[in-house]
Amino acid sequence: MTSGDGASAPQAPERWVDVASTAVGAAACAVLLLVGAFAGRPDVAVLGAAPLVVTAWHLLRRPSGLVRAAVVAGEEGPGGTLSAAVVLDAPAGTAAVTVDVLRHDRPVVHALVRTPGSRRLPLLARTVRTGPQEVATVQVQGVGPGLVSVSDPAPRATRRTVVLPAAGSLPDVPLPPRLRGLTGAHGSRRPGEGGDLRDVHPFGPGDRLRRIDWRVTARRAPDLRELWVRREHALAEAVVVLVVDSRDEVGPDPLTWRGSQPPRPQDATSLDRARQAAAAVARAFLDRGDRVGLDDLGVRRRPLPPGAGDASSTGSGTPWR
């Protein structure tokens, strides 16, 4: 699969705000301090003064700057696994960072991560779909010392990729009735060299001397007045054009067929099956040295002309770069 980074949202103002519970707790501590001072109860005043001093100390050490997050490519994983990494960059003094991971606008992970500066978190996602899709969307928020302040939520970081279909192996593939390539690995109907025996024919213009069959000549023309040559079928290659229509895509749930709602992300669609079948057929023909082309009826562009190449390029890994 090939990859691409999602567009970053506009950066929010870099500010930290107090937690609502902090203000409530500070007010309660201030009331205890005043009650203890006016009532002559130092023990009550200490109960209110100590938390108030600690809260003020943490507020003075409140970080400045916004927590940053980015989703970058990770190591290649097995089929159906999308690998990435979340890179966190927190300003000095940040106690922790809340990390929310979403896929298809649905929350999947919520974690509180301690970040002494920068940190890299592995991220794995599984998919049964192919084509362009979202790996993950990450939103983070910083937590100040003593959990008395939080930062504004950082802009969302998104990673998108193109998942290539897995090319399965086929034991055998059909061949067209007429092979077009001049040379190849399959027997054709036209006369040539390298294939199975076609017939034995009297020597004529265009025949090569090395094609003379001396045994047949000695049997049919003992006086050597006529020479006989062996003619063979030429070896040729198949030229295959795969046709895929990407305009329609339906899932296994009939409720999604009318188009009012998209197929569920956890269900493979008809287009996913078509891509996998096309990749398997292309790999089978390429392994035999044939040429394969592609025409997508749902895209307004020229078809991919038939060509040969490495079968691994039909898609069995997840290239990110």
pLDDT tens by residue, 181-238: 667 767 666 666 666 676 777 888 877 787 788 888 888 888 878 888 887 767 778 8
- What is the pLDDT, as a whole number, of residue 295? 93
Question: Which has more pLDDT, 95 or 75?
Answer: 95
Question: Which has more pLDDT, 101 or 176?
Answer: 101
Q: Using the predicted structure, report yes or no on whether residue 8 has a pLDDT greater than 50.
A: no
- What is the pLDDT, as a whole number, of residue 47? 64
Asked if the structure places residue 49 within a domain, the reply is: no
Q: Confidence band (pLDDT; 50, 70, 90) for 39?
A: confident
Asked if the structure places residue 284 within a domain, the reply is: yes
Residues 245 and 221 in one domain: no
Asked if the structure places residue 55 within a domain, the reply is: no
Asked if the structure places residue 111 within a domain, the reply is: yes
Overall average pLDDT of the 62-87 stretch: 80
Residues 286 and 245 in one domain: yes
Residues 210 and 96 in one domain: no
Residues 156 and 216 in one domain: no
Q: Using the predicted structure, report yes or no on whether residue 167 has a pLDDT greater than 60.
A: yes
Print the domain residue range for 117. 2-17+63-162
Last residue of a domain, one of 129, 162, 195: 162
Q: Confidence band (pLDDT; 50, 70, 90) for 311?
A: low
- What is the pLDDT, as a whole number, of residue 58? 66
- What is the pLDDT, as a whole number, of residue 101? 93
Scan for tokens 């990110």, then name that residue. Answer: 320
Residues 150 and 210 in one domain: no
Residues 12 and 123 in one domain: yes
Asked if the structure places residue 43 within a domain, the reply is: no
- What is the pLDDT, as a whole number, of residue 243? 93
Q: Shortest CA distance to 52 belongs to which of 17, 23, 94, 20?
A: 23
- Determine phi and psi for 273, rounding to 5 degrees: -65, -40
Minimum mean pLDDT range among 77-81, 155-159, 188-192, 261-265: 188-192
Overall average pLDDT of the 56-75 stretch: 78
Residues 154 and 8 in one domain: yes
Q: What is the pLDDT of residues 108-160, one digit of tens each?
A: 889 998 887 889 999 888 888 888 888 899 999 888 887 777 888 888 999 88
Q: Confidence band (pLDDT; 50, 70, 90) for 2?
A: very low
The runs of H, that is alpha helices, within 162-304 are: 214-220, 270-287
Residues 295 and 284 in one domain: yes
Domain count for the chain, please give it.
3
Residues 90 and 149 in one domain: yes
Asked if the structure places residue 41 within a domain, the reply is: no
- What is the pLDDT, as a whole number, of residue 26? 64
Asked if the structure places residue 12 within a domain, the reply is: yes
Residues 133 and 200 in one domain: no
Can you list the positions of beta strands (E) in 146-185?
149-151, 157-163
Residue 80 and residue 143: Cα distance in Å, rounded?
35
- What is the pLDDT, as a whole number, of residue 124? 87
CA-atom Rg of the chain in angstroms: 36
- Determine phi and psi for 95, rounding to 5 degrees: -80, -40
Asked if the structure places residue 90 within a domain, the reply is: yes
Residues 153 and 249 in one domain: no
Q: What contacts 76, CB < 8 A, 6 or more positions away?
A: 83, 317, 318, 319, 320
- What is the pLDDT, as a whole number, of residue 187? 67
Residues 98 and 8 in one domain: yes
